[in-house]
């Protein structure tokens, strides 16, 4: 066996090992590799076409801007939610340029918005470029592309300045926004932002905003695909949608998603204060959860006690464990417990910053408690969605589980497994689709999955061509069903990462790629990458240069944020010890190989610095 030494194994891990691994074994271009490259091109072209149609020269989205959570500022900017991710995968340079123009335009467009029925946007939806007040379910949605911009653009001074300023809103660095109580280690309200916390009860107008004249397709209405509705006529029912969303004061588990700001600020700057704040805040939630028997509470009082704003009933609160309401818009009971929406980002960010798997133990314990209540009815496994004093159910004065459904939280269980790589966590997950492929059960999955992405892209473009709306008849959320980029399967197959319908907003992956020739993030042209297998201390990766004429170079990084460390590489009968967060590869024309890569996961502090800048 030929031994090639890429880096010393003594001392701390290097940023980039060298000299490069040379792959010179001919390989026929696999279908998946060609499909990856074509999808990156087609996605990029579709985004350009979308931008031309729906964004003007100022960067303004062509629609009717409104305040609110049903079709407001978060939906408008969420239109571009994965464009920065597509660039980081290897999409066109124009993606980053379009995103920056659109984000700057969005901030100006919605800063000019004025409301009369709520104070929250009376002088604009943004103050100092951050939402005045909102909940983190919606604030996080609106920041998805912003959170992922640093993967490709870590030296942008505007990005760094914004991330630091936004994170500072939760560290009391802005006297106008006292969101955080450092004594009790709480964010003081579910409503928070650049104008501080809302300590009064919310109003339906805070949630819905002002009415507007006109007829629109309303996506939160079942008839949105078939007819337009007069907004003024439907507006009372929109208000009724949020009639019970009024509890505000006290910390809420959704606020754990605010740690996305500080985690990114730390990875951009290396300033320890951002990491320390995440660990202080998440640590406090960890202690409270342990004191609550493993149940992540949905509200913490202003005095720092479990359920302090609800007479000790920790399951209460907007979007909490027993947020069973009557939706006056849809005229039906709705169960909206969002316990996972902030908890999964928060605790996984703490893992990323520390490598401490006890943070994931919190999430596993929560799922254990839910699964302990499972039932099997008519051959279907059901688990409860809600907990507390149930509306419409028999209640004996004690909190109880209720509302059993076949939603088994498979996405969330998959994330736990991918973090832990504990085979016991795998037992709860269906061994099918991508997980089945990683387990060696579906070798055709990559090509089929990418073909499916092409079909979804085709459908999106068809919707764009047939779009019946005009700027004056279009609300912000309408474009969410048209925005074209398809990245979920690319993240799985190329990076060994996983986005559960985009709800984490941080890229947890085994590998990432950089183009050393163009000095940018993303897979170089003509290079295909496929993560074939994941182990607790290894990843199997296939790389291929589909170009039969020109050689290609690529840098492979351990983790999206260099949080992992490579320990060795085997390929084509050769072996190289590695002690680095990245290594270079040179692919001869038309050549490829399967690389068996050893790695130590979560061995490093995460960073957004490019490999050659570390």
Query: Residue 180: what pLDDT?
Result: 98
Query: Residue 403: what pLDDT?
Result: 95
- Give 10-residue mean pLDDT values along the chain (614 residues): 38 73 97 98 98 98 96 97 98 98 98 98 98 98 98 98 98 97 98 98 98 88 73 94 96 98 98 98 98 98 97 96 92 94 97 98 98 96 94 74 96 97 97 98 98 98 97 95 97 95 87 98 98 98 98 98 98 95 98 98 98 95
226, with CB counted inside 10 A (0-12, 13-18, 19+), is exposed
Query: Residue 502: what pLDDT?
Result: 63
Residue ranges and CATH numbers for the domains of the chain are: 2-29+510-613 (2.60.40)
224: Cβ contacts below 8 Å, ≥ 6 apart: 217, 218
Please compute, for residue 361, the number of CA atoms within 13 A of its CA located in the half-sphere on the CB side.
10
- Are the CB atoms for 78 and 141 separated by under 8 Å? yes
Report the Cα 304 to chain-centroid distance in Å.
Answer: 28
DSSP 524: P
Which pairs from 227-234 meet CB under 8 Å and 24+ separation?
A: 228/473
Query: Considering only CA atoms, which of 560, 604, 556 is closest in space to residue 582?
Result: 556
- Are the CB atoms for 278 and 289 separated by under 8 Å? no
Burial 25-52 (b: 16+ CB within 10 A, else e): bebebbebbbbbbebbebbbbbbeebbe
Please compute, for residue 294, the number of CA atoms within 13 A of its CA located in the half-sphere on the CB side.
14
Query: Residue 222: what pLDDT?
Result: 64
The encoded tokens of residue 583 equal 């290594």
Query: Residue 1: what pLDDT?
Result: 35
What pTM value is reported for the model? 0.96
Query: Residue 4: what pLDDT?
Result: 42
Query: Residue 392: what pLDDT?
Result: 64
């Amino acid at each position: 066996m030929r031994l090639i030494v890429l880096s010393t194994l003594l001392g701390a891990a290097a940023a980039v090992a060298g000299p490069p691994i040379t792959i010179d074994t001919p390989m026929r271009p696999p279908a998946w590799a060609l499909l990856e490259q074509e999808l990156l091109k087609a996605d990029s072209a579709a985004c350009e076409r979308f931008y031309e149609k729906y964004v003007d020269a100022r960067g303004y989205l062509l629609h009717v801007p409104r305040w609110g959570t049903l079709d407001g500022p978060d939906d408008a900017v969420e239109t571009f939610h994965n464009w920065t991710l597509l660039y980081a995968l290897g999409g066109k340079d124009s993606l980053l340029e379009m995103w920056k123009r659109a984000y700057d335009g969005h901030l100006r467009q919605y800063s000019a918005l004025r409301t009369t029925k709520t104070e929250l946007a009376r002088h604009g939806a943004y103050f100092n470029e951050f939402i005045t007040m909102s909940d983190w379910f919606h604030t996080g949605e609106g920041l998805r592309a912003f959170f992922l911009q640093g993967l490709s653009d870590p030296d942008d001074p505007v990005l760094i300045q914004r991330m630091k300023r936004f994170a500072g809103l939760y560290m009391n660095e802005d006297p106008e926004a006292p969101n955080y109580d450092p004594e009790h280690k709480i964010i003081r309200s579910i409503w928070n932002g650049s104008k501080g916390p809302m300590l009064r009860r919310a109003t339906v107008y805070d949630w819905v905003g002002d009415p507007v004249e006109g007829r629109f397709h309303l996506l939160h209405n079942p008839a949105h695909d078939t007819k337009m509705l007069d907004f003024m006529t439907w507006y009372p029912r929109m208000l009724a949608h949020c009639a019970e969303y009024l509890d505000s004061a006290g910390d809420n588990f959704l606020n754990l998603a605010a740690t996305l700001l500080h985690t990114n600020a730390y990875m951009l700057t290396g300033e320890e204060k951002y990491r320390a704040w995440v660990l202080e805040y998440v640590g406090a939630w960890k202690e409270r959860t342990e004191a609550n028997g493993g149940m992540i509470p949905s509200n913490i009082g202003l005095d720092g006690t479990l359920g302090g704003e609800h007479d000790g009933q920790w399951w209460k609160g907007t979007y909490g464990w027993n947020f069973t309401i009557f939706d006056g818009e849809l005229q039906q009971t709705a169960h909206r417990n969002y316990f996972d929406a902030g908890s999964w980002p928060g605790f996984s960010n703490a893992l990323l910053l520390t490598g401490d798997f006890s943070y994931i133990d919190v999430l596993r314990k929560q799922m254990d408690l839910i699964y302990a209540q499972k039932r099997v009815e008519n051959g279907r496994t059901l688990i409860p969605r809600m907990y507390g004093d149930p509306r419409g159910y028999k209640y004996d004065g004690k909190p109880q589980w209720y509302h059993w459904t076949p939603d088994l939280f498979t996405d969330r269980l998959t994330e736990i497994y991918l973090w832990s790589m504990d085979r016991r966590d795998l037992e709860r997950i269906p061994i099918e689709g991508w997980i089945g492929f990683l387990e060696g059960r579906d070798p055709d999955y990559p090509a089929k999955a990418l073909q499916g992405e092409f079909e979804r892209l085709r459908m999106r473009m068809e919707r764009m061509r047939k779009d019946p709306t005009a700027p004056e008849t279009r609300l912000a959320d309408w474009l969410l069903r048209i925005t074209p980029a398809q990245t979920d399967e690319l993240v799985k197959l190329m990076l060994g990462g996983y986005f559960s319908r985009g709800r984490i907003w941080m890229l947890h992956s085994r590998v990432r790629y950089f183009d050393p020739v163009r000095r940018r993030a993303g897979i170089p042209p003509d290079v295909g990458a496929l993560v074939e297998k994941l182990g607790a201390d290894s990843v199997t990766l296939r790389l291929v240069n589909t170009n039969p004429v020109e050689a290609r170079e690529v840098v492979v990084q351990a983790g999206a944020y260099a949080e992992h460390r490579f320990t060795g590489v085997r390929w084509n009968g050769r072996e190289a010890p590695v002690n680095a967060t990245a290594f270079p590869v040179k692919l001869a024309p038309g050549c490829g190989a399967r690389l068996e890569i050893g790695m130590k996961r979560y061995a490093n502090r995460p960073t957004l610095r490019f490999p050659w800048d570390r």
